[in-house]
Amino acid sequence: MQTILTGVRANEEPTIGNFLGAYKSMVNLAHEHAADSNINMFVPDLHSFTTPIDHSKLYAQVIKGIKYYIAAGLDIDNPNIHIYRQSHVPAHSELAWILDCFTPFGEASRMTQFKEKSEEHSNAVTVGLFNYPILMAADILLYDAKYVPLGEDQFQHLELARNIGIRMNNKFNEELFTIPAPEEEQVKFMHLEKGLRIRSLVDPTKKMSKSSDNAKSKISLNDNPAEAAKKIMSATTDSEGIIRFDMINQPGISNLLTIEALLNDRDIQDVIADWAGQTSYGDLKKKVAQTVESFLTEFQEKVAAVTDEQIEAVLQKGEEYANRVANAKLAQIQRAVGVRK
């Protein structure tokens, strides 16, 4: 049975970028494949403090992350859907150490996200921040996951996970790990033309990020819906004066068209066609603002309906599964590297 796996780091409040790039892709794939695939949706909570956070809020944020997975539409009664916390499956960190020792320093140093994040947090660049893509490789390889629905920003890390897996398989002359599909295949599997990157509302040349300090740049999932609508109304656009999908020259407008299409489950080409030739950026913003406002209103109602009992039951079942699968894989790797008979 193939495995489809993804996770969203619990550090700050997730954004609609996370919702569209990770949650929604996963929910759609679960609808399509849960009958004959494992659907692993975990909270990478050990990744949460690779950059500084308020630790007193972390536990609640992790539980909220689980609520969001359920509210986004994962069917928790399906026996093939597994929700778990990385920190509650110790094999993740165990395998990460082993993978560290098979990852050339130079290769890990090429990760562009490390470079960007260490500039952003220049007073707190930790070994953990450097190492996080290798823990991410362990998260994926432990479960033999073939498909990993991710936003565009994570494809370099996925490539690293593939390289590490291929290197280990070659070194030990054994198929220790299933190698995750390459980027093009992942994108096709998600029914996309290319990797998804929702842009910042303030600077649409950058991606929307939950850790951004600028609240205006992002729509967080717990934003007041009316306030969120205002953020859309004041989103940065351009002075071309015509509505066109052109990520290079009109990234702000193209971002709004993308959000409009995806939140309404519509084909992006149809939305582009609806607006072709129109010139009022105000009208487009009003429409997207309404879409975002009703999306948040409905989503927040669904979040409020998830109970503590559901979360407890889901984690118990999910973490039992995850430990069983991950420990078996870890034992296989420990045998290969020679620390277990």
Angstrom distance (rounded) from CA 142 to CA 90:
11
Which pairing describes strands 145-147 and 81-85: parallel, antiparallel, or unpaired?
A: unpaired
Shortest distance in whole angstroms from residue 217 CB to ligand ATP: 10
SS (H, E, C) 55-76: HHHHHHHHHHHHHHHHHCCCCC
3-state SS class at 82: strand
CB-CB contact of 19 with 148 (8 Å): no
Shortest distance in whole angstroms from residue 156 CB to ligand ATP: 11
CB-CB contact of 146 with 2 (8 Å): yes
Q: What angle do CA 52, 55, 60 make, to 5 degrees?
A: 125
Q: Which two tokens stand for residue 248?
A: 């290079």
CB-CB contact of 126 with 117 (8 Å): no
Angstrom distance (rounded) from CA 173 to CA 205:
44
Q: Of 82 and 197, which has the nearer Cβ to ligand ATP?
A: 197
User: Catalytic site residues?
Assistant: 117, 207, 210
Shortest distance in whole angstroms from residue 8 CB to ligand ATP: 4
Angstrom distance (rounded) from CA 196 to CA 189:
13
Q: Of 9 and 67, which has the nearer Cβ to ligand ATP?
A: 9
Q: Of 162 and 330, which has the nearer Cβ to ligand ATP?
A: 162
Angstrom distance (rounded) from CA 122 to CA 131:
16
DSSP character at residue 180: P
Q: Of 15 and 61, which has the nearer Cβ to ligand ATP?
A: 15
> Would you tell me which residues interact with ligand ATP (CB under 6 A)?
8-9, 11-12, 15, 17-18, 20-22, 150-151, 153-154, 196-198, 207-211
Contacts of residue 268, Cβ cutoff 8 Å, sequence gap at least 6 = 245, 257, 258, 261, 262
Q: Which two tokens stand for residue 165?
A: 């897996």
Which pairing describes strands 145-147 and 2-7: parallel, antiparallel, or unpaired?
A: parallel
* Neighbour tally for 311: CB within 10 Å: 18
Closest residue by beta carbon to ligand ATP: 21
Shortest distance in whole angstroms from residue 143 CB to ligand ATP: 16
Angstrom distance (rounded) from CA 103 to CA 165:
10
Q: Of 14 and 165, which has the nearer Cβ to ligand ATP?
A: 14
Q: Of 133 and 165, which has the nearer Cβ to ligand ATP?
A: 133
Q: Of 133 and 318, which has the nearer Cβ to ligand ATP?
A: 133
Strands (E), the chain: 2-7, 37-43, 81-85, 145-147
Q: Which two tokens stand for residue 173?
A: 């002359």
